[in-house]
Structure 1
Amino acid sequence: MSIYAIGDLHGCHAEFVALLEKLAFDPARDTLWLVGDLINRGPGSLACLREAKRLGSAARCVLGNHDFHLLVAARGGGRLKKRDTLDGILNAPEREALLDWLQAQPLAVFDERTLMSHAGVLPSWSVEAALGYSAEVQAMLESESAGAFLEALYGNKPARFTESLEGMDRLRALVNVFCRMRFISADETLDFDAKEGLDSAPAGFYPWFQFPRGDDTRLIFGHWAALEGKTPKARIDVQALDTGCVWGGRLTAMNLATGERTSVPSRQEGT
């Protein structure tokens, strides 16, 4: 039995199938960890979502910012953007079942010593805290107030999560950490403007993984394609898995037991 963590699919279904074939993945024996952003930008968003759902207990998935974008567009009164590739999902005959499955996914998954989230976790968060915060958001997504939550989700404020936050400010700050974080300051304030490589860091801000943690948890994340799967000067055990498949890079899987990485080339042309 093997557990493989796979970087952002972004609707690259052909590459997803090719990677599973290269891994000789068997859902009766193996498990996939999907690091979020299953959909959008690539041409196979509907197929990727269907495939992830079909795998059932053989797949563990966390929500990414593009997954939230779909939920906001479908159930929170949001609008699609010009480059979105979500119409296939929104017009699918099993649309509601797919959205229900997606909306039921957590923001963090943990097993033994490995914690997976889409963008990362704050250095000060223990595993227990991260799973608790994920559960807070998941409980809201499963509640009767989910629609109102999705309507009010977007925004950059507050830019710093503190335990004293309440209500929508608290939930928005949590989602932004789990799904949008790249650079943070020493007091764990998030920057939302810099989205490229490490050279784009604003003054006083650094990649979140360059700050130390208080434990030896291995962290797995995606989201930051410009890193090309690398985490320079990381002060923790951290693995970046988004290798930019939808932008013409590669789709990458990591064997959690061995750390071995397996990739297939993108079939996209810089979407």
Structure 2
Amino acid sequence: MATYAIGDIQGCRDEFARLLERLAFDPTNDRLWSLGDLVNRGPKSLEVLRFFKTLGECAVVVLGNHDLHLLALAAGNQRHARDSTLDAVLQAPDRDELLHWLRHRPLFFHSKKKNVALVHAGLPPQWDCTQAAELATEVESALRDTGYQEFLQGLYGNEPSRWRDDLRGMDRLRFIVNALTRLRYCDAEGTLLLKEKGLPGNQPEGALPWFQVPGRRSRDERIIFGHWSTLGYHTEDNIWAIDSGCLWGGELTAIRVRRKKTIERIAIDCPGYAEPGE
């Protein structure tokens, strides 16, 4: 039995199918972990959602910012509506079943068996994986509650940008969401710098990739994440970044996850459906 983690698909169903074929993925025996952003901008978001829903217990999907964007649109939050290609999902006859399934995915996943955690974007330096998992459940509860639409109406925004244990209400939930699904850079004090998106080495002074902040509490824990296509496939200090820019004409990456043995990378080339900056 093999366990594979896969980077951001973003509606690129054909490329995803080719990668599964390359892996010889067998859903009756293997496990598939998605780092989120199943949907948006690529041409076949609906087909990707339907496929993952059929996988049942053999798949783990942690939510990404584009997955949350789909849920927000469906709940009536039209902010950033023009930045999406999600009409096929929103108009599908099985839309309610798919969105219900998506709302019940986690924002953070830790496998004790494989000794590794999954998150779409990153962790601020103040959190270890135990705290991240606990805080993720607060957002998951809001998404699964009968009043989830109210939570999704307040989803967007970059504030607060700094974690405090006494944050409450929507400010607390928004920070957790932003950290787990949007983080790339922060400063040494853990302030989220959400507008910074480029390749390390080009960022403003004081901006650090979240995984390079000195003294981050999660440094000794193995973490796999996606979200950062300009970073590409990258590994250092117990982290594996595996969004290699399939949507933009890069690669779609999977890694075979083992507890102790070397983590193996498998990738395919992708034609691309969008230009960077769109």
Q: Which category of TM-score, normalised to the shorter sequence, fits these structures? A: over 0.9
Structure 2, unaligned runs of 5 or more:
none
Question: Contact 2:41–2:273 at 8 Å: present in 1 too?
Answer: no
The answer for the alignment partner of 1:60 in structure 2 is 60
Deviation at 1:124, TM superposition (A): 2.6
Deviation at 1:102, TM superposition (A): 0.6
Deviation at 1:80, TM superposition (A): 5.4
The answer for the alignment partner of 2:205 in structure 1 is 203
* Equivalences, count: 268
- The reply to whether residue 254 of structure 1 matches residue 258 of structure 2 is no
Deviation at 1:145, TM superposition (A): 2.3
The answer for the alignment partner of 2:268 in structure 1 is 264
The answer for the alignment partner of 2:228 in structure 1 is 224
Please give the per-residue CA displacement for 1:210-242, whole angstroms capped at 9, x wherever unaligned.
Answer: 1244452111000000001125xx4x2000010
The answer for the alignment partner of 1:188 in structure 2 is 190
Secondary structure of 1:55 counterpart = helix
The structure 2 residue matched to 1:171, chosen from 170, 173, 198, is 173
The answer for the alignment partner of 1:138 in structure 2 is 140
Question: Contact 2:42–2:273 at 8 Å: present in 1 too?
Answer: no
Name the CA distance, whole Å, in 2 between partners of 1:143 and 1:228: 36
Cα 1:188–1:98 change in 2 (3 A) is same
Question: Contact 1:76–1:148 at 8 Å: present in 2 too?
Answer: no
Deviation at 1:76, TM superposition (A): 4.0
Structure 1, unaligned runs of 5 or more:
none
Deviation at 1:123, TM superposition (A): 2.5
Name the CA distance, whole Å, in 1 between partners of 2:271 and 2:46: 17
The answer for the alignment partner of 2:49 in structure 1 is 49
The amino acid that maps onto 1:120 is G
Deviation at 1:270, TM superposition (A): 3.6
Identity %: 46
With normalisation by structure 2, the TM-score equals 0.93
The answer for the alignment partner of 1:33 in structure 2 is 33
CA RMSD in angstroms comes to 1.4
Name the CA distance, whole Å, in 2 between partners of 1:195 and 1:178: 15
Q: How does 1:151-162 map to 2 (within 5 A)?
A: 151-162=153-164
The amino acid that maps onto 2:61 is C
Segment drifting more, 207-216 vs 189-198 = 207-216
